[in-house]
Chain A
């Protein structure tokens, strides 16, 4: 990237031009950061600002005012709503989805990347295309399928539904990952007397732990991005996951509990954003993987 950046610089930049250009780039980045960060900053301010200041048109909105900082919204969120239960549900769903995704995607990814068999090519493309089947196309028939499986309005509904998009994506990601492990390592193990299954177990799997970690993180963050399935399949408060609970249960009639709403969004959203950011490069690779060598 540094080399690329160099390409856009004039050949022999004068000191002044150099400084001016840097200033422009930083100004641009600040503008973007302001637009991108404002809603999150607003979540943060709202979470800790007492209602007297929050709903006071004369108070300066962008920072805390005369009544200072409060934890009331967070207390309300934890003690008087199902927030703790929703968080627990989210973790249960996430854990199960990650587990299912790993169990299914890792073998499939290995096979598609490494083994030559009839139809492997078209299966690879087919699996990626499945990822592009939108959830809004499937949610209504899935209501039926999930009811038949006896999982409607239960956490099981989401545990069944989320792998429909995590498996295709993660299989694709895993296949890309396995391709980066040199063939020779596996061959060497097989020459040394390992069977192929032995080589997979003793050599390939240990080498792909990082890939599996990435895949696990994505199974989690992709699940957290869902809204349609969670909204459609679950309506009992005690079975909700956190992003649905926050946006449906902190609005009573016309009254929005903005302080607690934003507290919930902040507590549930920011950790996901951090995790996602860390692994974003792999996400991009996962999406564009087929397009570049």
Chain B
């Protein structure tokens, strides 16, 4: 425990009266929170401000300081490149399409798990694997599953008659997009289900019973009672999920590296490519920073949609 006892009093009082002061919530509170705030200021707050500044400089990895101030040049140059617009479109599309699919798959799953039949715990463990296994390790596994020659997806697909030929999942532009969305959905649907389950558990039985007596079917109960009642949980859950899907670069980086022909980049992977692999920190920071307004818009829309559903 980092007990704050050792912190010397600024006004030079004795240790004893310092201890005495700590008995007051108005003193002890800030003292106990201070390390957390300090850590966040130095390693989140400051880098955040630095990100804004970096995006307006020509800093690269070789620069020891912060490079030269170039105003909005990085952004303007970025807007001229095609790959930026592709990455922007992909970021939005991947996030939204996978959010919808995750929501659908997750909702159905939540109802299945809520039945709580014998064996649900084991099913739960297996079904949660996509969410609990570190994303880098599962992404590389998917790359192997999408292999050009030994793809297990193709083998299964062919044997149940769903796939013909030998589709090159990560080498074809459209298929690569589908693959990335599929992995995002695979990774995220258990989380949607779990969040929904947590919400459903918080609804009182009486309300549901009353609705049933009044003749509300399952769909009506979901739309008119469950969703509005758990809107706050859904809001936090989807916010969390959207933020992390939208800013994730792991799936794209490991599956396609942005290829084929730069068609599958998202802003995060492009920022990595430009900022780290090409070493143009300033330009990369500009790309990463552009995630921010998009994030804020998404947060705003999510908030409004869920508010409107509130009774």
For window 1-24 of B, CB contacts with A under 8 Å fall at 1-5, 19, 22-23
B276 interface residue (CB < 8 Å to A): yes
Least CB distance from A57 to B in Å reads: 7
Contacts A29-B123, A277-B128; is A140 near B26 (CB within 8 Å)? no
Least CB distance from A10 to B in Å reads: 10
Expressed in whole angstroms, the Cα–Cα distance for A115 and B23 within the complex equals 10
Indicate the size class of the contact surface on chain A: 35 or more
Expressed in whole angstroms, the Cα–Cα distance for A247 and B138 within the complex equals 10
Contacts A39-B138, A116-B29; is A57 near B150 (CB within 8 Å)? yes
Contact partner of B237 among A1, A135, A288, CB < 8 A? A288
Quick check: B134 and A171 within 8 Å, CB to CB?
no
Quick check: A288 and B198 within 8 Å, CB to CB?
yes
Expressed in whole angstroms, the Cα–Cα distance for A43 and B134 within the complex equals 13
B71 interface residue (CB < 8 Å to A): no
Least CB distance from B69 to A in Å reads: 15
Expressed in whole angstroms, the Cα–Cα distance for A39 and B255 within the complex equals 14
B94 interface residue (CB < 8 Å to A): no
Least CB distance from B75 to A in Å reads: 15
Residue of B nearest to A103 (CB): B2
Contacts A197-B19, A228-B250; is A137 near B115 (CB within 8 Å)? no
Quick check: A61 and B254 within 8 Å, CB to CB?
no
Chain B residues lying within 8 Å of A32, measured Cβ to Cβ, are 105, 109, 112, 123, 127
Quick check: A117 and B1 within 8 Å, CB to CB?
no
Quick check: B281 and A144 within 8 Å, CB to CB?
yes
Contacts A36-B186, A288-B233; is A8 near B128 (CB within 8 Å)? no
Expressed in whole angstroms, the Cα–Cα distance for A111 and B268 within the complex equals 36
Expressed in whole angstroms, the Cα–Cα distance for A272 and B127 within the complex equals 15
B47 interface residue (CB < 8 Å to A): yes
Interface-facing stretch out of B48-56, B78-86, B95-103, B172-180 = B48-56
Quick check: B137 and A108 within 8 Å, CB to CB?
no
Quick check: A40 and B129 within 8 Å, CB to CB?
yes
Expressed in whole angstroms, the Cα–Cα distance for A269 and B29 within the complex equals 39
Quick check: B132 and A280 within 8 Å, CB to CB?
yes
Quick check: B232 and A36 within 8 Å, CB to CB?
no
Expressed in whole angstroms, the Cα–Cα distance for A108 and B127 within the complex equals 35
Least CB distance from A60 to B in Å reads: 9
Quick check: A103 and B140 within 8 Å, CB to CB?
no
B218 interface residue (CB < 8 Å to A): yes
Q: Is the interface of A mostly helix, strand, loop or mixed?
A: helix
Quick check: B1 and A130 within 8 Å, CB to CB?
no
Contacts A224-B134, A258-B144, A292-B232; is A145 near B47 (CB within 8 Å)? yes
How many CB-defined contacts (below 8 Å) exist between A and B? 324
Contact indicator per residue, chain A 102-120, by CB within 8 Å of chain B (1) or not (0): 0111111011100111101
Quick check: A137 and B291 within 8 Å, CB to CB?
yes
Residue of B nearest to A250 (CB): B140
Interface size for B (C-beta < 8 A) is: 117
Chain B residues lying within 8 Å of A264, measured Cβ to Cβ, are 137
B92 interface residue (CB < 8 Å to A): no
Interface-facing stretch out of A20-28, A64-72, A78-86 = A20-28
Contact indicator per residue, chain B 231-242, by CB within 8 Å of chain A (1) or not (0): 011011101100
Contacts A140-B54, A145-B47, A163-B43; is A61 near B152 (CB within 8 Å)? yes
Residue of A nearest to B193 (CB): A32
Quick check: B243 and A132 within 8 Å, CB to CB?
yes
Contact indicator per residue, chain B 38-79, by CB within 8 Å of chain A (1) or not (0): 011001101110110010000101000010000000000000
Quick check: B142 and A39 within 8 Å, CB to CB?
yes
For window 33-58 of A, CB contacts with B under 8 Å fall at 33, 35-40, 42-43, 46, 54-55, 57
Contact partner of B48 among A137, A160, A161, A268, CB < 8 A? A137
Contact partner of B134 among A40, A231, A269, A290, CB < 8 A? A269
Expressed in whole angstroms, the Cα–Cα distance for A145 and B43 within the complex equals 8
Expressed in whole angstroms, the Cα–Cα distance for A62 and B153 within the complex equals 11
Contact partner of A127 among B30, B40, B199, CB < 8 A? B40
For B136, B190, B198, B237, the residue with the greatest tally of chain A CB atoms inside 10 Å of its CB is B136
Expressed in whole angstroms, the Cα–Cα distance for A183 and B61 within the complex equals 53
B311 interface residue (CB < 8 Å to A): no
Chain A residues lying within 8 Å of B139, measured Cβ to Cβ, are 247
Quick check: B126 and A130 within 8 Å, CB to CB?
no
Contact partner of A130 among B40, B117, B138, B197, CB < 8 A? B40
Pull 11 A–B residue pairs with CB atoms less than 8 Å apart, ordered by A: A7-B208, A29-B113, A57-B149, A134-B243, A137-B288, A138-B48, A167-B40, A232-B272, A247-B139, A247-B254, A277-B128
- Extra contacts besides A4-B208, A130-B40, A256-B144 (11): CB < 8 Å: A4-B201, A32-B109, A61-B152, A111-B30, A117-B26, A142-B47, A145-B43, A232-B272, A247-B139, A265-B137, A291-B232
- Top 4 closest A-B pairs, CB basis? A117-B29, A134-B247, A291-B232, A111-B32
